[in-house]
């Protein structure tokens, strides 16, 4: 494949496609009917223990071989030169055992296309990244070097990962990004016989409904890359591991209790960058993403790892519209609201009319009643009334506008927004709205906190009352008062 020009991709679409994939970080998985529940229960008793025993035996065997291959090798040795001789000859055996462990779990791996040599393409670009089971690509690519967080290495599987001679990432290191890019460039352009570097350029897991923004790190060397796609064409999706969805243990349990699962890996033709792409890694990344999206038959959306963290933080705090907060941010930007931030002024003034129709919603924001405003309205629309509860929208907008402000400032706005009397005094039902939409508490927890904070038994709380309670209560961390609203990593 040859390089091509590509204009900046917008993530907003009026063709209806966007509405179907509002959030690539959401995956819902439930056993819907009695048959599935009974079958899963039976296989949990009969099939699961056998598979777990066999898989553990195979993993321990592979780990033992990796320990032998790494004997007397330090991390510095692994980073300075590629393995040779008998150590390298162990790789095919470890790969075979790794593939057998997937087969023992009921998952058949099908490989299409041909993996080219390192000389033809020093870097393998793999997408979409949607599951911890994507690690099968390491065995399918003859133990290519992965990019891995250093803190993830302090576990049982660390030896197996080390055997790929990975590129380490220290996320707490401010220079980690530059150091990682530097090492990728050195590996990709080295004359030595290193393994191919394997990257998941999306940087996080999605539900495979689209390809999100590719990080440019693996494209800085400007060398040819081979795109590799992963599919899981199963009737029930038990593998997708996203920020909003089942945990790893549930997914593993449901996967191991399926009679059969499939994974399809396809090696696409090598992509050769043109001169512009060599000079612009972001352009190179976008164009490779387009090729892979076309092969997969999915759209592209400019979502990033930071968007993922933002969604997780909003969900944790109970922010209204939290799972769609990335789209809310984008729509506000398209409407010019992220620059003017009228919501902060509206929140400071308090909300008199709380339920709004679409025309009233647009009018209050000073925005045109077009498809963008209507889409924003739909995100917060109540199914019961067909109206928007305006404090909820403003709460989400304030959260987006104050991501680097102390959390106590967001709480101050919340006290204003959910004060339906305008007196600065919240009764229990008003405080419940604040606590469930800003502190991430359940209703019962909010009620208990209200009773504790209302030390004078007045039947109401002011912002000052609550902060005094919060600062003096040993059960709660004082860091809340000054902690910035920065998304936390998963």
What is the average per-residue pLDDT within 80-93? 95
Tokens matching residue 152: 């993830």
* pLDDT at res. 477: 46
- Chain segment 99-128, per-residue pLDDT in tens: 999 999 999 999 999 999 999 999 999 999
| pTM (predicted TM-score) | 0.76
CB proximity list for 288: less than 8 A, separation 6 or greater: 125, 201, 214, 219, 225, 227, 271
Query: For 484, which DSSP code?
Result: B
* pLDDT at res. 1: 60
| 350 Ramachandran zone, left/alpha/beta (phi>0; psi -120 to 50) | left
* pLDDT at res. 105: 96
* pLDDT at res. 195: 96
CATH 3.40.1130 domain residues, the chain: 17-303
Mean pLDDT of the chain: 87
Q: Is 227 helix (H, G, I), strand (E, B) or coil?
A: strand
CATH 1.10.238.10 domain residues, the chain: 307-482
Q: Is the pLDDT of residue 153 over 80?
A: no
* pLDDT at res. 476: 52
Q: What is the DSSP string of 286-339?
A: HHHHHHHHHHHT--B----HHHHHHHHHHHHHT-TTGGGHHHHHHHHHHTTHHH
Q: Is the pLDDT of residue 291 over 90?
A: yes
Helices (H), 141-280: 158-162, 176-189, 248-256, 275-279
Specify whether the CB–CB gap between 258 and 238 falls below 8 A.
yes
Q: Which of 167-176, 397-406, 427-436, 452-461 has the lowest mean pLDDT?
A: 167-176
Specify the residue for token string 């190179």. Answer: 284
More confident residue, 140 or 153: 140
**Mutual orientation of helices 371-380 and 358-365 as an angle, nearest 10°?**
110
d(CA 163, CA 70): 7
Q: Is the pLDDT of residue 132 over 90?
A: yes
- Chain segment 385-406, per-residue pLDDT in tens: 999 999 999 999 999 998 877 8
* pLDDT at res. 146: 93
Q: How many CA atoms lie within 13 A of 429 on its CB side?
A: 2
Specify the residue for token string 């931030």. Answer: 341
Query: For 152, which DSSP code?
Result: G
Helices (H), 47-120: 48-69, 75-80, 85-89, 91-104
Q: Is the pLDDT of residue 436 over 70?
A: yes
Q: Is the pLDDT of residue 42 over 60?
A: yes
d(CA 300, CA 291): 10
Q: Is the pLDDT of residue 225 over 90?
A: yes
* pLDDT at res. 6: 37
CATH number belonging to domain 17-303: 3.40.1130
Q: What is the DSSP string of 209-220?
A: SSB-PPPGGGGT
Specify whether the CB–CB gap between 331 and 362 falls below 8 A.
no
* pLDDT at res. 152: 64
Q: Which CATH class is domain 307-482?
A: mainly alpha
Q: Is 414 helix (H, G, I), strand (E, B) or coil?
A: helix
* pLDDT at res. 408: 83
Q: Is the pLDDT of residue 420 over 50?
A: yes
- What dihedral do alpha carbons 86, 87, 88, 89 form, nearest 10°? 40
pLDDT band at 151 (very low <50, low <70, confident <90, very high): low
* pLDDT at res. 467: 85
User: Percent of the chain beyond pLDDT 70?
Assistant: 90
Q: Is the pLDDT of residue 22 over 90?
A: no
* pLDDT at res. 243: 78
Specify whether the CB–CB gap between 196 and 116 falls below 8 A.
no
* pLDDT at res. 488: 39
Residue 443 Cα to chain centre, angstroms: 28
């Amino acid at each position: 494949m040859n390089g091509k020009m590509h204009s900046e991709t917008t993530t907003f679409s009026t063709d209806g496609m966007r509405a179907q994939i509002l959030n690539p970080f959401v995956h819902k998985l439930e056993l819907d009917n009695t048959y599935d529940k009974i079958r899963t229960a039976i296989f949990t008793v009969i099939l699961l223990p056998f598979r777990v025993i066999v898989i553990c035996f195979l993993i321990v065997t592979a780990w033992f071989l990796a320990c032998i291959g790494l004997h007397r090798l330090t991390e510095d040795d692994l980073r300075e030169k590629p393995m040779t001789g008998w150590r390298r000859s162990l790789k095919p055996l470890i790969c075979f055992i790794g593939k057998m462990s997937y087969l023992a779990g009921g998952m058949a791996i099908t490989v299409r296309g041909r993996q080219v040599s390192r000389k033809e393409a020093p870097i393998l670009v793999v997408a979409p990244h949607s599951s911890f089971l994507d690690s099968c690509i390491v065995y399918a690519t003859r133990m290519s070097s992965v990019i891995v967080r250093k803190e993830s290495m302090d576990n049982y599987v660390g030896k197996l990962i080390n055997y790929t001679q990975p590129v380490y990432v220290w996320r707490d290191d401010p220079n980690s990004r530059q150091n990682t890019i530097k090492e990728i460039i050195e590996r990709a352009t080295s004359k030595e016989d290193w393994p191919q570097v394997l990257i998941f350029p999306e940087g996080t897991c999605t539900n495979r409904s689209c390809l999100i923004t590719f990080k440019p790190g693996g494209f800085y060397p400007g060398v040819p890359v081979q795109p590799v796609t992963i599919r899981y064409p199963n009737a029930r999706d038990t593998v997708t591991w996203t920020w909003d969805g089942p945990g790893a243990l549930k997914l593993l349990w449901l996967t191991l209790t399926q009679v059969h699962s499939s994974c399809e890996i396809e090696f696409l033709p090598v992509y050769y960058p043109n001169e512009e792409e060599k000079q612009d890694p972001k352009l190179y990344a976008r164009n490779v993403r387009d090729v892979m999206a076309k092969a997969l038959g999915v759209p592209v959306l400019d979502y990033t790892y930071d968007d993922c963290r933002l969604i997780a933080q909003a969900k944790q705090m109970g922010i209204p519209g939290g799972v769609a907060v990335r789209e809310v941010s984008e729509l506000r930007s398209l409407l010019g609201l992220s620059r003017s931030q009228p919501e902060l002024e509206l929140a400071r003034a308090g909300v008199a009319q709380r339920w709004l129709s679409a025309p009233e919603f647009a009018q209050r924001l000073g925005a045109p009643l077009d498809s963008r405003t209507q889409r924003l309205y739909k995100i917060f629309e109540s199914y019961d009334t067909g109206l928007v509860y305006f404090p909820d929208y403003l709460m989400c907008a304030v959260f987006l506008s104050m991501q680097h402000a102390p959390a106590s400032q967001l709480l101050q706005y919340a006290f204003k927004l959910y004060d339906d009397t305008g007196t600065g005094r919240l009764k229990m039902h008003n405080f419940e709205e604040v606590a469930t939409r800003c502190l991430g508490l359940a209703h019962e927890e909010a009620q208990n906190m209200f009773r504790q904070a209302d030390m004078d038994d007045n039947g109401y709380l002011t912002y000052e009352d609550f902060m005094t309670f919060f600062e003096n209560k040993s059960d709660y961390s004082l860091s809340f008062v000054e902690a910035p609203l920065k998304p936390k990593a998963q």
